[in-house]
Amino acid sequence: MSMTNPTTLSAAQPAANAAALREDMSIRAKLVETTIDALLPPTKGGDARLIEAMRYATLGGGKRLRGYLAVETASLFGVSEQQSARVGASVEMLHAYSLVHDDLPAMDDDDLRRGQPSTHRKFDEATAILAGDALQTKAFEILAEPATHTDASVRIALITAFAAASGAAGMVGGQMIDMEGEGRALPLDEVRHLHALKTGCLIRYSAEAGAILGQADAELQRRLRSYGANIGAAFQIADDVLDATATAEELGKTAGKDEASGKSTFVALLGIDGARAEAERLTKLAIEDLAPFGAKADRLKALAYYVIERRN
């Protein structure tokens, strides 16, 4: 997908920055991976199988979009990667718990996750339920530890924003609305609201987390929060477009699944061109949010393109 109206962008934008972003995402995905590995070491006692399931659910790949956002936004304020990678690992653990529970037979009943057996297929349902539960606990525990930030009030601010983004008024609330909406046509504003909660809140938190960790002033914190909300919304619309246009080979999973299941998607509501235009509009808003950061935010700008240009 090419941008139809790239006038709001810095001249150097697409090619060079996209290449830099890819390299940076790969480096930071490894950093987050290593951090999760260290925070969740394998054990030999009675909890060995539980820890193994938690590791299975969290390690071994993915783009680490949420972890990347936390580390990259924190770097705008000179926060050490030792600290920001912990916040990145924490949000990836929470994201992983939500996927483990979402894949359960009583929920979406998915046997595969990134081409591998989902956690309840690899282990069993009870282990998957408990591993998800313990991953959520661990995600909060990591934020509370002094290694995340020396100032307890900063850790409290992270925990507060994290809980708001992931609980009944955030991610879990969105999953519930999604489940209840299955099989009936939702209007556009409800689809927007559902996704703002289900995937948007945690992506927004990830961008905001770097600002909290960096003790940014209220205006910069608001800017990054808005940036996160905008790319989160664009991300979901791009997902719908991908489902409707990409091949199964590109996606690594069944394509056209949304239409087949009669889900209320942005593509169903706006058409493919309309959905693309909406994603581009949100991307531009996200880039405008970054204005005060200048060239320091070039990678975050490239990321705003990346979420709508990716093919998987």
The answer to whether residue 20 forms part of the interface with a copy of itself (CB under 8 A) is no
Q: Which stretch binds a copy of itself (CB under 8 A): 70-78, 134-142, 260-268, 292-300?
A: 134-142
The answer to whether residue 136 forms part of the interface with a copy of itself (CB under 8 A) is yes
List 51, 59, 220, 277, residue binding a copy of itself (CB under 8 A): 51
The minimum distance between CB 284 and a copy of itself, in angstroms, equals 29
The minimum distance between CB 219 and a copy of itself, in angstroms, equals 23
Of 264 and 283, which CB lies nearer to a copy of itself in the complex structure?
Answer: 264
The DSSP result for the chain, as a single string, is ---S-GGGS-TTTHHHHHHHHHHHHHHHHHHHHHHHHHHS----STTHHHHHHHHHHHSS----HHHHHHHHHHHTTT--HHHHHHHHHHHHHHHHHHHHHHTSTTTT--SEETTEE-HHHHS-HHHHHHHHHHHHHHHHHHHHSGGG-S-HHHHHHHHHHHHHHHSTTTHHHHHHHHHHHTTSPPPHHHHHHHHIIIIIHHHHHHHHHHHHHTT--HHHHHHHHHHHHHHHHHHHHHHHHHHHHS-HHHHTS-SSHHHHTT---HHHHHHHHHHHHHHHHHHHHHHHHTGGGGGGGHHHHHHHHHHHH---
**Segment 161 to 220, residues that bind a copy of itself, using CB under 8 A:** 163-164, 166-169, 172-173, 175-177, 179-180, 190, 193-194
The residues of the shown chain that bind a copy of itself, judged by CB under 8 A, are 46-47, 49-51, 54, 97-98, 101, 104, 106-107, 124-127, 129-130, 132-134, 136-138, 140-141, 144-145, 152-153, 155-156, 159-160, 163-164, 166-169, 172-173, 175-177, 179-180, 190, 193-194
